[in-house]
Amino acid sequence: MQNDELMIIEKHTENLRKGFHVWPALKYGKIRAMGDARWTADLLLATWEQGETGAPPTHELEYRTGASKGGFDKLDFNFLPESQWLPLDTPFDLSVSLNKRSEGQKIVIPIPFYGGGMSYGSISENIMLSRAMAALKWGTFTSTGEGGYPPSLVPYKEHVITQVATGMFGVREETIQYAPIVEFKYAQGAKPGLGGHLLGDKTTVAVAKMRESVPWVSLFSPFPFHSVYSVEDHKKHIDWINTVNPQALIAVKVSTPIDIDMVAVGSFYANAHILQIDGGYGGTGAAPEIAKKNIAMPIEYAIPKVHRYLTAEGIRNELTIMASGGLRSAYDIAKIIALGADGCVLGTAELVALGCTRCANCERGRGCPFGLTTTDPELQQLVDPEWGAKRISNLYASYVKQLKDILRKLGLKSISELRGRTDFLVYRP
């Protein structure tokens, strides 16, 4: 690493300690050593800037794609000729219904995304608060992840999804009753078949109390739920939640096995409302590289497979499909909807808007040096929840502007019209 790059990083760290949340790299030039093929330096900096301004960058930063030479980075939109674009003042509808069944409460989010599960222990409580406050402002949701439900989230409970995962950490009757949506996490795309792992260094006294475990001892979430080996077992799980909270919608998070279409049908007949299909591009530094790159199916293959199969079965319009796992931009969101999803679930992008540099230090010692994926009491103070909520909200605002612009250039007035429109996509060799 060159001296000028070291100077930029040192300056950034110094500013964080002082409470100045800025990217000096924007002032001094891009850091060539930062990022990777999926999250390039441009994408990292552009996402940070969107958290600052609420709009896509107006200068040379590439904010739409990465440089992975595959996946979303090879897909592009075949926009209409400019003469056929809709007027700028066209009212666009970005809303998504989270319950397409005839029974149960109707929940509609005004934007086609919500925040994915990040557990207490993997991220700080301040980050959880930031995400919940942003969800409240936009009328959408954020998920607790599997680490329990901190009391500070209760004022935002109408916008918080309670997650029930295989470790059952922090799962309580009252937190299920808080939730408008309860999410079962059967698998995570970044490490399917491996379960979860929180190292002992991050299992502080506060985290252990929330998870009802022993401080400073590593915690493992098994794979799979050892009470679920069939669709009938799956339905018993959903019936359990319906008994505790009859009003709650049921979301099911799964990875992308080769028979993901069969998994989707099984969840539908078990009475789930939302199926979250999680690809392998997401995850934090806790996910092994060998798992992320070699297990399960890429999300851009899984979503159209499920969309086509459910359509053929005549039940596509009765199950909401949300995609997750490494969606980095408004263009990724639009592409996955064109491939067949109803909407998507965001994770890493929100952290990047708060200062994540993808250093993969999430699980080590005190965790993230920027106060994001840490349980250290001092490092947590680097992120003020009000500041974090504003930045995530600004990122959402930028995505909304870009999604409306994409619809306008495709001649569509609603995000639902984009679903499954693979004819709008082209592959760039």
pLDDT, tens digit, for every residue of 260-308? 999 999 999 999 999 999 988 876 556 666 666 666 788 999 999 999 9
Q: Quote the pLDDT of residue 185.
A: 93
pLDDT, tens digit, for every residue of 218-235? 888 878 787 888 899 999
Beta-strand pair 343-346/320-324: parallel
Q: Quote the pLDDT of residue 259.
A: 93
Residue at token pair 């996509």: 425
Write down all domains in the chain, each with its CATH number in brackets: 96-126+138-353 (3.20.20.70)
Q: Can you say whether residue 78 is alpha, beta or left, with left for phi > 0 and alpha for psi between -120 and 50 degrees? A: beta
Tell me the C-alpha distance between 113 and 378, whole Å: 32
Contacts of residue 168, defined as CB under 8 A and 6 or more positions apart, other chains included, come to none
Q: Which of 77-86, 141-150, 197-206, 414-423 has the lowest average pLDDT? A: 197-206
Q: How many CB atoms lie within 10 A of CB 289?
A: 11
Asked whether residue 152 carries a pLDDT value surpassing 90, the answer given is: yes
pLDDT, tens digit, for every residue of 379-414? 999 999 999 999 999 999 999 999 999 999 999 999
pLDDT band at 6 (very low <50, low <70, confident <90, very high): low
